Structure 1
Amino acid sequence: MALPNIFDKEVSENTIHRIDQLKPDTQPLWGKMNVSQMLAHCNVTYEMVYEDKHPKPNFLMKFFLKSFIKETVTGEKPYKRNTRTAPAFLIIDSRDFEKEKTRLINYIRKTQELGEVHFDNKASHSFGKLNINEWNNMFYKHLDHHLNQFGV
C-alpha cells in the first residue's frame, strides 16, 4: 500500500493541520520525548536536506546505512514504537515549542512547493540518490509516526 504523497498540497496541508493540533503540553502515547523535542527531532530530516549543519557520513558509514537502514527509512512499512534513532536525531535538551513547530511547518511547505520532480534522483544526506517514492516515504512516514505518537 502506497503512503500518502507529501508532495501533494492536500496531504502536506493535512499534515500541517495535525501539527497545528499539538499544544506545548501534549503528552506522548509512547516514548521519552516531549512534544517540543519531537518537533525538533522531525526537523532534523529537513535540516539534512536544506541546511549544512549535520556532518555527512563517511564512506563506510554510508555503505552501512544504504545496506541495512535505507529500506527501513524509505520503505512503506511503518516504524515500530520505541525503536532507537540515529545520534543526529537524538534531542535531549529543551526546545522552544513554537519555534520548532514553525520550522517544521515551513520545511513541509517548502518541500511541497519544490515538488517531487526536485527530489527525483536527488542524493540524500545518508542514503545516496533516492527516487520520488523513497523521498516521499522518508518524509511522510517519519512525520506520521511521530504525529501518531502524540495522538494527532
Structure 2
Amino acid sequence: MALPNIFTSKISNQVISRINTLTPTTQPVWGKMNVAQMLAHSSVMYEMVYDNKHPKPNFVMRFVLKTFIKNVVVSEKPYKRNSQTAPAFIINDTRVFEDEKQRLIDFVSKTKELGESDFKGKESHSFGILSITEWNNMFYKHLDHHLTQFGV
C-alpha cells in the first residue's frame, strides 16, 4: 500500500488543511505533548533537511540509525502510539502555537514547491541517500501520525 504523495498539491493541501483545523486548545488522543509542542516536533524532520540546526550523527550512530531505525521511519508501516522519540525531536519547552503552526505549514509548502525531483538521490540527515518514495513516506507518515494523535 503506497502512502499518499506529500509532493503533490492535492495531498500537501490536505495536510495543511488538517493542520489548520488545530487550535491552541486541541488535546491529544494519546501522548504527552501539547499541540504547539507537536507542531514544533513535526518541524524537526524538515529542519534536518532545510536548516543547519541539528548536528549530524557520528559514524557509529549513523550506522545504528541506518541499520535499525531507517526502515521504521521510511517504510509504509504506521508508527506505533507512544513510540520512543529521538532526542532531537523531543520538545519540552513552551512554544507559541501560531508560530509553530505557520512554520510547519511553510515547511510542507516548501517541500511541495521543490517537488519530488529535488529529493531524488538526496542524502538525509541520519539515514544516507533515500529514494523519493522513502522521503515521501518519512514526511507523510510522520505528519499523519501526529495529526491523527490530535484527532485531525
Query: Normalized against structure 1, the TM-score is what?
Result: 1.00
Corresponding residue SS for 2:123: strand
Partner of 1:126: 126
| In 1, Cα distance between equivalents of 2:50 and 2:105 | 14
- Alignment map for 1:2-151 (pairs within 5 Å): 2-151=2-151
> For 2:51 and 2:113, how far apart are their aligned partners in 1?
17
% identity of equivalent residues: 68
What is the CA RMSD across the aligned residues, in angstroms? Answer: 0.3
Cα distance between partner residues in 2 of 1:78 and 1:121:
24
1:110-137 CA distance string (max 9 Å, x none): 0000000100110000000000000000
2:41 & 2:33 partners in 1: Cα distance?
Answer: 9
How far, CA to CA, are the matches of 1:104 and 1:85 in structure 2? Answer: 19
Q: Give 1:100 deviation, angstroms.
A: 0.3
- What is the CA–CA distance in structure 1 between the aligned matches of 2:94 and 2:84, rounded to whole Å? 19
Gaps of 5+ in 2: none
One-letter amino acid matched to 2:34: N
Alignment gaps of 5+ in structure 1? none
TM (norm. structure 2) is: 1.00
Taking the aligned partners of 1:72 and 1:45, their CA distance within structure 2 comes to 15
Instruction: State the 1:82 CA deviation.
Output: 0.4
Letter in 2 for 1:130: L
Cα distance in 2 for residues equivalent to 1:133 and 1:120:
9
Q: What SS is found at the alignment partner of 2:129?
A: strand
User: Aligned-pair distance for 1:18?
Assistant: 0.2
Alignment: residue pair count = 152
Following superposition, the deviation at residue 146 of structure 1 comes to 0.2
Deviations 1:39-65 (A, max 9, x none): 000000000000001000001100000
Moved beyond 3 Å, runs of 4+: none
In the aligned structure 2, how far is the partner of 1:141 from the partner of 1:111?
Answer: 15
Amino acid at match of 2:27: Q
Shift of 1:25: 0.3
